[in-house]
Amino acid sequence: MKRLRPIGVTLGCTMLAGGAMAQLSITPPAQTPPAKKEAPKETKPKVHAPVVKKPAPKPAATATPTPTPSPTPTQAAADDPNVDVVFGAYQRGMYKTAFDLATTRAQTNNDPKAMTMLGELYANGLGVKRDYVKADGWYKRAADAGDREAMFALAMMKIAGRGGPVDKDAAVKLLASSAKLGEPKAAYNLALLYLDGQTLPQDLRRSAELLRMAADAGNPEAQYALATFYKEGTGVPKDLEKAVRLLQAASLADNVDAEVEYAIALYNGSGTPRNVPAAIALLRKAARQNSPIAQNRLARVLATGAGAAVDKVEALKWHTVAKTAGKGDPDLDDILADMPPADRAKAEAAARKWIGNNVK
């Protein structure tokens, strides 16, 4: 299910014409590519195995009673809304089983979670042929029954025009209802609409409130975006320390943009004690995650020895990879111009190998 694109916050310039973003003192301003989408995570529930009782001793009578057939574990689970084997099957990739169990539960128990699961399976073509109209129908039934995840999914479909015409007004209402019920993805995407100012009138304070709601629930995209708000004083008072704490939280969740900016904050000691080794470790991690900004910053560190041992072969490798992604750097071209031909060939071979294995 396609989600709204996360906020594209730049590194080295403001999101909304505010003050300059923090950057490594050895680097020029540059833009950060948009953050990756985040699929909703769910916690795998425990599935309790049925308890098998010991058979009672046979009576002395010669007649043997006919035993009553006991339900199979699958039948019992389908009838018991407290045993979520539907999601368990979904997590294990058993989509046809999940579909069958969810269908039984939706039809017999009117279970909103089962309806949402059917919407998900139809929307993504998992275990069944993709059918946005049927997905829309199941999501709507679940949303009408109060399921916040179905409200969010249905809103995204209406924004994308899947299963029916584009209906942004309906999508906004669904997002608001879902966010009110505590769905962080809905709060985050509604915040984007208030920030964008096209579907809804721009309201930076309301956008910040919704981002805070999603950030407090652990959404890394919201944490990163709210960090930018605090850094720039957008919709909230400017607070660099709060911004850095949010960047740290988002970077721990592997948000690449947050990793880069948190590394820069650690390198410069902006809003947090200076820690160059930790900063460079984060730059390496983000570089391996294909962030051109991190690759460029790491190349500068390695080329100049500003915080790490000089390694021009590795520096040229990352510089070449970053240039391939559109992040050129004339200063680095000059710094690395006098490399011996053998070292240059080694670096370029390493860059080609990296690009071949990691760039799609």
* Three-class SS of the chain: CCCCCCCCCCCCCCCCCCCCCCCCCCCCCCCCCCCCCCCCCCCCCCCCCCCCCCCCCCCCCCCCCCCCCCCCHHHHHHHCCCCCHHHHHHHCCCHHHHHHHHHHHHHHHCCHHHHHHHHHHHHHCCCCCCCHHHHHHHHHHHHHCCCHHHHHHHHHHHHHCCCCCCCHHHHHHHHHHHHHCCCHHHHHHHHHHHHHCCCCCCCHHHHHHHHHHHHHCCCHHHHHHHHHHHHHCCCCCCCHHHHHHHHHHHHHCCCHHHHHHHHHHHHHCCCCCCCHHHHHHHHHHHHHCCCHHHHHHHHHHHHHCCCCCCCHHHHHHHHHHHHHCCCCCHHHHHHCCCCCHHHHHHHHHHHHHHHHHHCC
Tell me the percentage of the chain whose pLDDT exceeds 90: 75
CA distances from 146 to 159, 182, 206, 317 (A): 20, 12, 24, 53
pLDDT at residue 22 greater than cutoff 80: no
Please report which confidence band the pLDDT of residue 74 belongs to, taking 50, 70 and 90 as the band edges.
very low
pLDDT at residue 3 greater than cutoff 70: no
Q: Are 4 and 156 in contact (CB under 8 A)?
A: yes
pLDDT digits (tens, 9 = 90+) for 23-61: 343 333 333 334 443 433 333 333 333 333 334 444 444
Please report which confidence band the pLDDT of residue 275 belongs to, taking 50, 70 and 90 as the band edges.
very high
- Nearest residue to 264 via CA among 32, 18, 22, 31: 22
- Pair of tokens at residue 249: 């939280």
How far is it, in rounded angstroms, from Cα 118 to Cα 128? Answer: 10
Residue 15 has, within 13 A of its CA and on its CB side, a CA count of 23
pLDDT at site 323:
96
**Angle at Cα 21 formed by Cα 18 and Cα 24, nearest 5°?**
160
How far is it, in rounded angstroms, from Cα 258 to Cα 38? Answer: 14
pLDDT digits (tens, 9 = 90+) for 299-341: 999 999 999 999 999 999 999 999 999 999 999 999 999 999 9
Q: Are 255 and 262 in contact (CB under 8 A)?
A: no
Range from 43-52, 202-211, 293-302 carrying the lowest mean pLDDT: 43-52
Range from 10-14, 230-234, 262-266 carrying the lowest mean pLDDT: 10-14
pLDDT at site 155:
97
Please report which confidence band the pLDDT of residue 262 belongs to, taking 50, 70 and 90 as the band edges.
very high
Give the CA radius of gyration of the chain. Answer: 27
- Nearest residue to 283 via CA among 297, 271, 265: 297
pLDDT at residue 241 greater than cutoff 60: yes
Q: Are 350 and 317 in contact (CB under 8 A)?
A: yes
pLDDT at site 134:
97
pLDDT at site 38:
41
Burial of 34 by CB count in 10 Å (0-12 exposed, 13-18 middle, 19+ buried)?
middle
pLDDT at site 358:
86
Burial of 329 by CB count in 10 Å (0-12 exposed, 13-18 middle, 19+ buried)?
buried
pLDDT at site 84:
78
Q: Are 351 and 321 in contact (CB under 8 A)?
A: yes
pLDDT at residue 71 greater than cutoff 90: no
Instruction: Work out the mean pLDDT of the chain and round it to a whole number.
Output: 82
- Nearest residue to 99 via CA among 134, 72, 71: 134
pLDDT digits (tens, 9 = 90+) for 87-132: 999 999 999 999 999 999 999 999 999 999 999 999 999 999 999 9
Please report which confidence band the pLDDT of residue 359 belongs to, taking 50, 70 and 90 as the band edges.
low
pLDDT at site 360:
61
- Pair of tokens at residue 43: 């916690």
- What values do phi and psi take at 337, rounded to 5? -65, -30
Tell me the percentage of the chain whose pLDDT exceeds 70: 76
pLDDT digits (tens, 9 = 90+) for 144-188: 999 999 999 999 999 999 999 999 999 999 999 999 999 999 999
